[in-house]
Structure 1
């Protein structure tokens, strides 16, 4: 098929590469404008642009999709379908109908559960044991379009946002390619979502990253994994920020939440609202990630020390 592809982050890249490899005609790739990064303010490409350039595909980076001239330029590419994967902006109604088969989206959840910006992180925060991807037709709502198909995978006990991101990106490309091999058949089977079952996810920000030690250990442990690699869950030790990347649930005591109740050569154990966490990996302020064992060789910690929220 002749496809206009729209995407920006790493999650979109496997699908773009798979579509090209499958022999589809990519009329163009639309991605977010280049961003200035670092002290030198040099411009960096989005992952999708990097892959598109590598594949020799034409790239478009409009500042807005609300310009009718931009929509007309996409229409002139004569796409049969527009594939949208984590582009980063809501599409205007004029673009939704710019191709005969409309716009298809790969969403990283089993819709209508976890609509919105952060389905992968919320899957882990909730402790779900199964997740998947949905291929749907975009409409004017937020992830509310008819579903063409879904695919499921289990969530591993030690899954992080990074590892689940990679798995769902692969599952997404495979499911999308299956749909496009017989799009008309999947369109005939498309089914509407049940709005009564819908849940929504907000964009992850740093306010979610501060550890509340009065929460149960299981809740905190899921948060550590959900916020890895960005933005990382953190606490404070002697007034300095300490990110905690990984921990195991351990038996607790009657100590106040946040209190260090045990120290070994390889870990330190922190009391929570229920049970405790044996910390395995940390990142001290202005330093790199390291094992708890490495941290303990350079920082004295004793029982009774209290981790705080400031």
Structure 2
């Protein structure tokens, strides 16, 4: 079976490695163009490109998969199947209909829940207890194709989206191998999605990063978990942006208004339901990332009961 692999981030690279390790014949890897990364904007190859080059797999990085020359290139590779894992581009019908065994997608949710670009992050933000991975036959819609296999995992109560991402990458790789075996021997099932049960997981942006302490303590905690490692939740402390990487929900009543510290010498914040969330891993603007204990060593005198978080300089 000739396989063309399409993927970009580390999540996809795990699947590509699994294909190589299991002896599948990957004739080409398509990935997004190199992009500037970090403050210094260093042009960096995506993880799939780096791995494919190590494995000796030809790499292609078209700016568009809709152009005739890209479609002609794909056709010349004569793929029996195209495996798509977090590629980051929508495939046109001419590509989807090209391989005789179909285009197979690995998606980081239990479809039809969390269709879209950020299923892992939104499952954490929304406080889901379980999620998983689905393999499906791609069609012209956004994650709407017929499902093949699913695998369910539990989400830890303090697990970040970054941690879940790493776990689901391995689950997805294993499920892809199972799917290819099923397709090859004719045992792979095919189940239509129930569109009435679908939800959408749009791409994250920085606009959702500011914490809203009028939510419940659990919702604030889930928001912090879901936005780690990017874009990272934040509030404002003494007029400066305070990034919050992790937290925990504290038992007991707050006794102060939402957004206020509940006790002297802590980073325990009252929430809208009267609950309390403790900020445990933070980075104050102009400083470095540190634990709450380290933060309080330098800023403990300002951390008084009733101090309102979320106020920018001048407010």
Structures share a fold, TM > 0.5?
yes
Q: Deviation at 1:127?
A: 1.4
Contact 2:71/2:94 (CA < 8 Å) preserved in 1? yes
Alignment of structure 1 residues 138-153 onto 2, 5 Å: 138-153=138-153
1:162 partnered with 2:162: yes
Matched residue count: 308
TM-score when normalising by structure 2: 0.94
The corresponding residue for 1:194 is 194
Distance 1:191 1:128 in 2: 24
Contact 2:182/2:188 (CA < 8 Å) preserved in 1? no
Distance 1:46 1:289 in 2: 26
String of CA shifts for 1:160-200, please: whole Å, max 9, x gaps.
00110011000000011011123145675201101111111
Distance 1:131 1:39 in 2: 34
Contact 2:254/2:271 (CA < 8 Å) preserved in 1? no
Alignment of structure 1 residues 223-302 onto 2, 5 Å: 223-250=223-250, 251-264=252-265, 267-274=266-273, 275-299=275-299, 300=301, 301-302=303-304
The corresponding residue for 1:108 is 108
Q: Deviation at 1:254?
A: 3.5
Distance 1:184 1:104 in 2: 13
Distance 1:32 1:279 in 2: 36
Q: Deviation at 1:5?
A: 0.3
TM-score when normalising by structure 1: 0.95
Distance 2:271 2:130 in 1: 27
Distance 1:147 1:124 in 2: 23
- Given the alignment, which residue of 292, 302, 306 partners 2:308? 306
Distance 2:42 2:232 in 1: 26
Structure 1, unmatched stretches of 5+, are none
Structure 2, unmatched stretches of 5+, are none
The corresponding residue for 1:177 is 177
Runs of 4+ in 1 over 6 A off after TM superposition: none
2-11 or 296-305: bigger deviation: 296-305
